Structure 1
Amino acid sequence: MGKIKSKKVLVTGAAGFIGHHLSKLLVKNGLSVIGLDNINDYYDIELKYARLADMQINRTDVEYNKIVSGLIDFIKLDLTDRENILELFKNSEINYVVNLAAQAGVRYSLINPHSYVDSNITGFLNILEACRAYPVEHVVYASSSSVYGLNKAVPFKTSQHTDHPLAMYAASKKANEMMAHSYSYLYGIPTTGLRFFTVYGPWGRPDMALHIFTKAMVEDREFEVFNHGKMSRDFTYVDDIVESILRLIPLPPKENNPNFDPKNPDPSISSAPYQLFNIGNNSPVALMDYVNAIEKALNKKGKIVFKEMQPGDVQSTYADVESLYNYINFKPSTSIEKGIKNFVDKYLELNKNKFL
Structure 2
Amino acid sequence: MKLVADWLTDPATVTIMTLLTQDGHGAWFVGGCVRNALLGRGVEDIDIATDLRPDDVMALAQAAGIKAVPTGIAHGTVTLIVDHRPFEVTTLRRDVATDGRRATIAFTDHVDEDAARRDFTINALYAQADGTVLDPTGEGLADIQARRLRFIGDPRDRITEDYLRILRFFRFHAWYADPIAGIDSEGLAACAALADGLGQLSRERVGAEIKKLLGAPDPAPVVAAMAQAGILARTLPGAMARMLPILIAFEDAPPDPIRRLAALGDVEVAAGLRLANAEITRLSILRDGMSSATPPDALAYLHGADIAWDIVVLRASQFETPVDPTVRALIARGASAVFPVKPADLMPRLSGAALGQALKTLEARWIASSFTLGRAELLSRLPQSE
Structure 2 length-normalised TM:
0.28
Structure 1 length-normalised TM:
0.29
Higher Rg of the two aligned structures? 2
Q: Which has the higher relative contact order, 1 or 2, with Cα contacts under 8 A spaced 6 or more apart?
A: 1
Higher helix share: 2
Higher strand share: 1
